[in-house]
Structure 1
């Protein structure tokens, strides 16, 4: 199998840079919705059945603006941006590398992989990415759930990383890693669905996918994966938000606590703003990613 033309010297580097660019645009655009979603996930109060997800989202949004101003909606932007850039860059790099390896093993080009192989490639890439990026997500979660005026508020990304390491050690930086690894199934399901739909359209003679089709496939695959795997995000947020070495509940104890005190619906707190966020976020991410990928391939220097 011949190597594809590349802009940065290797196709996997092209995909990594495209992923980083897509993550930057998406994160800067949708930071406020991400903050509201995280605060809802971290909320441990028991809600009545009459509470509505979007209604609670609006109350959180309004509260942040009233107490901290519009600037409060962008608290934690640095770790969020760093986490997303690192995650998407690494994810697409490893995802494409693993697909190429599988393609060489099959003796075919990687666009002809099966749905199962896409699933495996996405799972492996997701696990590797999660191991690298987890400390960034811990800082992001804690900055999202505290105001700037709070006594234990982190001043920024590096202050947060140092503070966690000093008070909680390496284990503190990897809180929420286990449910995060469970969450690899989210990316696996999403990419399996996305790649399968894209392959189905590309196999149609004379097909030239346009941005609307990319957005439709990206949104459909994201909603499918989100609904299937959302509870792990709530559990991970709660684990990451626990401060101090002696006050943390275990994964099992926390899961039981959520179910006993908040019912099954507790595992879907923040789903409303998350769906609202992921639809435009995923569309932006994948359209920018596909555009950059095609640009790099069309202007290959190697």
Structure 2
């Protein structure tokens, strides 16, 4: 049974996710387009770097991107609230709950990816979330909403595991250093807010670097099929094989 304290955490997580997504959404759009662009897709513009991508998207597609922002905010609220609710319960359930979150939110992230990859070069652009969802169901069936689910599950589980493990190990290391510097003080209170912020940033960076290939695989699986209706990639193994052949790996994506 969900008590009041858990609802407070869910609301706080939703608000934090909404604020974060609203602020970082332009960068997320550029990242997604970099992830799927291998130089062979004509309807996805090629950007030299992140500032160049931001400038061109703002100049050519600003109005269109508003639909993408609202949809990603919806996904972020659901995802953040679910994750906060997971952390407030027993740790032994975290793996199962992470999988459940991915199952429930994958259709939202699927539509979000389609909208982010949509450019004026598309012959039949989606007008918004509901049109995208209706078109996907009509043209590709309900299974299309779960494209990228397998790498999404790996991403959901491994990202949190790497981040929390790195954070705890770094925290222990920092505490040992402070204890050595201040032998006459107990361990509690040796780290301040700046230390915790720094540890959190470093652990997050480590998790992103190690799990980034799963993001690339998921984005490439979720892109819209061509005019003939044939998906560009059939499964995760196809993405890995084709990316390694064309791009030499995931480091250049």
TM-score between both structures, scaled by the size of structure 2: 0.80
Task: Provide the residue aligned with 2:182 in structure 1.
Answer: none
CA deviations on 1:203-235 (whole Å, 9 max, x unpaired) are 93235742x334212211111111111111111
Contact 2:13 2:77 in 1 (8 A): yes
**Do the aligned partners of residues 10 and 23 (structure 1) sit closer, same or farther apart at CA in structure 2, a change above 3 Å counting?**
same
Q: Give the deviation of 1:268 after TM superposition.
A: 3.3
Check 1:159–1:192 CA distance in 2 against 1; reply closer, same or farther (3 A cut).
farther
In structure 1, how many angstroms separate the alpha carbons of the residues matched to 2:130 and 2:161?
Answer: 31
C-alpha distance in structure 1 between counterparts of 2:69 and 2:252, whole Å:
22
More helix as a share of residues: 1
Please report how far the alpha carbon of residue 73 of structure 1 lies from its aligned counterpart in structure 2 after TM superposition: 5.2
Tell me if the contact between 2:67 and 2:129 (Cα under 8 Å) persists in the aligned partners.
no
Alpha carbons of structure 1 residues 25 and 151: separation in structure 2 relative to 1, 3 Å: same
CA distance 1:94–1:22, shift in 2 (3 Å): same
Equivalent-residue separation in structure 1 for 2:169 and 2:105 (angstroms): 27
Q: In 2, Cα distance between the equivalents of 1:125 and 1:198?
A: 26
Partner of 2:165: 192
Matches of residues 222-237 of structure 1 in structure 2 within 5 Å? 222-237=204-219
Q: What is the CA deviation profile of residues 41-88 of structure 1, one whole-angstrom value per residue up to 9, with x for unaligned ones?
A: 110217xxxxxxx9422332222123224x455451111111111111
Matches within 5 A, 1:102-121: 102=92, 121=94
| TM-score normalised over the length of structure 1 | 0.68
Aligned partner of 1:169 in structure 2 is 141
Which residue of structure 2 lines up, in the alignment, with residue 205 of structure 1? 188
Partner residue in 2 for 1:93: 85
Pick closer, same or farther for the CA change 1:233–1:261 going to 2, 3 Å. same
Matched, 1:76 2:61: no
Q: Structure 1 residue aligned with 2:152, among 163, 180, 192?
A: 180
Question: Aligned-pair RMSD on alpha carbons?
Answer: 2.7
Give the paired residue count.
231
